[in-house]
């Protein structure tokens, strides 16, 4: 029997959206084991702490129907992605691509990661047409300005956004 294929899907997930979940569903059909890796060290001033972001991803994954494919786990990481990938003994990195906006950044990151470890491939997935355009950044902006984000995130994430915004901005880590 061949060795199980291990994939790492890294991101900020601030917060997890329907776009991320679409990619997770697709990635789960490709790998035997999928590790959703929540970046702790993010220079973007996240709205939610790494623990909160990981907890939200875990909650979303628990709502997926059984038999999606891979066994899925969520881990926070604060090291260089390629070091984390090696530590997990992963074979592939999964990333999502939205239209042309992500291309330049993803292209450079994949090329530099390949330079760091040429045995690990980056695989790009596209979300369904309906979820393609969703970005956490805009979801946060809409929520902060009192808009309705229910078609971009789950009920649970929406409630977490509302209570975070009502309670003021936290010190995120
Ligand atoms: P990053 O910190 O790299 O921006 P994100 O949490 O925003 O991480 O996203 C993680 C990955 O998921 C990235 O590869 C991003 O392009 C992808 N992604 C996020 N939203 C979508 C979406 N709506 N459709 C496809 N891919 C997406």
- How much is the mean pLDDT over the chain? 92
pLDDT beyond 50 at 160: yes
Residue 159: phi and psi, rounded to 5, are -65, -40
* CA distance linking residue 91 with residue 107, whole number of Å: 19
Catalytic residue list contains 98 = yes
* CA distance linking residue 96 with residue 76, whole number of Å: 19
The protein residue with its alpha carbon nearest to ligand 1, atom 10, reads 11
The protein residue with its alpha carbon nearest to ligand 1, atom 21, reads 19
Report the pocket of ligand 1 as residue ranges, CB < 6 Å.
11-13, 17, 19-20, 23, 95-96, 98, 102, 127, 131-132, 134-136
pTM of the model: 0.93
Catalytic residue list contains 66 = no
Quick one: what percent of the chain has pLDDT higher than 90? 82
Closest CA to 92 of 74, 68, 65, 110: 110
Q: Count of alpha carbons within 13 Å of 51, Cβ hemisphere only?
A: 4
Q: State the pLDDT at residue 1.
A: 59
Q: What's the gap in Å between 96 CA and the centre of ligand 1?
A: 5
Q: State the pLDDT at residue 173.
A: 45
What's 42's DSSP letter? -
Residue tagged active-site, from 136, 140, 154, 164: 136
pLDDT beyond 70 at 172: no
Would you give the end-to-end CA distance of the chain in angstroms?
42
Tokens of 169: 């901005």
Residues 6+ apart with CB under 8 A from 62: none
pLDDT tens, 125-138? 999 999 999 999 99
pLDDT tens, 57-93? 999 999 988 777 889 999 999 999 999 999 999 999 9
């Amino acid at each position: 029997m061949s060795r199980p294929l291990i994939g790492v899907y890294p991101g900020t997930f601030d917060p997890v959206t329907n776009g991320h979940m679409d990619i997770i569903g697709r990635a789960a059909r490709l790998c035997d084991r999928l590790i959703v890796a929540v970046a702790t060290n993010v220079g973007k001033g996240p709205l939610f702490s790494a623990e909160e972001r990981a907890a939200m991803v875990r909650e979303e994954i628990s709502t997926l129907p059984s038999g999606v494919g891979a066994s899925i786990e969520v881990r926070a990481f604060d090291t260089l992605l390629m070091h984390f990938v090696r530590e997990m003994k992963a074979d592939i990195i999964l990333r999502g691509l939205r239209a042309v906006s992500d291309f330049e950044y993803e292209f450079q990151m994949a090329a530099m990661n390949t330079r760091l470890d040429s045995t690990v491939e980056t695989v790009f997935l596209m979300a369904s047409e309906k979820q393609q355009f969703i970005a956490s950044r805009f979801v946060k902006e809409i929520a902060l300005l009192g808009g309705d984000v229910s078609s971009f995130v789950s009920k649970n994430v929406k409630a977490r956004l509302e209570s975070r915004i009502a309670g003021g901005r936290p010190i995120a880590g």
